[in-house]
């Protein structure tokens, strides 16, 4: 069965269409938020590897409020290699998150460590060679972690996609050095065949 016919039968694909989300992955973030309450007290968010933008859509819906002024003013920065259609209230940076210049452009927006939440749904174009795909995905996670360590407030949250490959424990040990708590979650929306 081709990818598009499989996706069309997928309940989250249909929900995404009905909810006007740009991708079914919106529901991954929604489900993780239901479990971990990502957005309480959060006004400033970095969405890495954000295209086509469904996570940014969820974030802007969750943060929208007429009380968001001053310190509570909403700031959302979305970054991807690919151009994204504009989203109201979302600043977009087109760039490679593994490059210093992109990291610096993001950090500039969050001078003084002011992001409450850093998201990264980064995935390479998979080649089908598991070791290679896991390695490239791990580089995205490490690049996102580097950015998070520069922009997050103390007690801030970093949520990142992770391909559960053989180096997963090494990656987790890096994260555990910086964060008080590190949790692995697999939202129901994640396809059973997915290692993310």
Active site residues: 161
User: Mapping DSSP to helix (H, G, I), strand (E, B) and coil, where does residue 179 land?
Assistant: coil
What does each C-alpha distance from 119 to 77, 129, 172, 193 come to in angstroms? Answer: 10, 26, 16, 23
CB of 124 to ligand SAM, least distance (A): 6
153 in contact with ligand SAM (CB under 6 A): no
| List of E strands, the chain | 44-48, 75-80, 90-94, 115-120, 152-160
Q: Which of 15, 91, 107, 123 binds ligand SAM (CB under 6 A)?
A: 123
Q: Which of 50, 63, 90, 162 binds ligand SAM (CB under 6 A)?
A: 50
User: Mapping DSSP to helix (H, G, I), strand (E, B) and coil, where does residue 81 land?
Assistant: coil
134 in contact with ligand SAM (CB under 6 A): no
187 in contact with ligand SAM (CB under 6 A): no
Q: Which of 60, 122, 160, 189 binds ligand SAM (CB under 6 A)?
A: 122
Token pair recorded at residue 183 = 């949790």
CB of 29 to ligand SAM, least distance (A): 7
Q: Which of 98, 105, 101 is nearest to 120 (CA)?
A: 98
Residues that bind ligand SAM (CB under 6 A): 22-23, 25-26, 49-55, 80-82, 96-98, 121-124, 140
């Amino acid at each position: 069965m081709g990818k598009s016919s499989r996706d069309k039968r997928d309940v989250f694909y249909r929900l995404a269409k009905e909810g006007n989300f740009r991708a079914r992955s919106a529901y991954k973030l929604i489900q993780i938020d239901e479990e971990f309450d990502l957005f309480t007290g959060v006004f400033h968010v970095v969405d890495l590897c954000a295209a086509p933008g469904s996570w940014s859509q969820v974030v802007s819906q969750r943060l929208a409020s007429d009380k968001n002024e001053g310190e509570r003013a909403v700031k959302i920065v979305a970054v991807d290699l690919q151009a994204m259609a504009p989203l109201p209230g979302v600043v977009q940076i087109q760039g490679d998150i593994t490059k210093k210049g992109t990291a610096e452009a993001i950090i500039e927006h969050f001078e003084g460590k002011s992001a409450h939440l850093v998201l990264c749904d980064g995935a390479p174009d998979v080649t089908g060679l598991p070791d290679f795909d896991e390695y490239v995905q791990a580089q995205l996670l490490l690049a996102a972690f580097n950015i998070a360590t520069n922009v997050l407030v103390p007690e801030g949250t970093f949520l990142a996609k992770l391909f559960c490959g053989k180096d997963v424990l090494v990656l987790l040990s890096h994260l555990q050095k910086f964060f008080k708590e590190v949790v692995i979650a697999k939202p129901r929306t994640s396809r059973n065949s997915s290692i993310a």
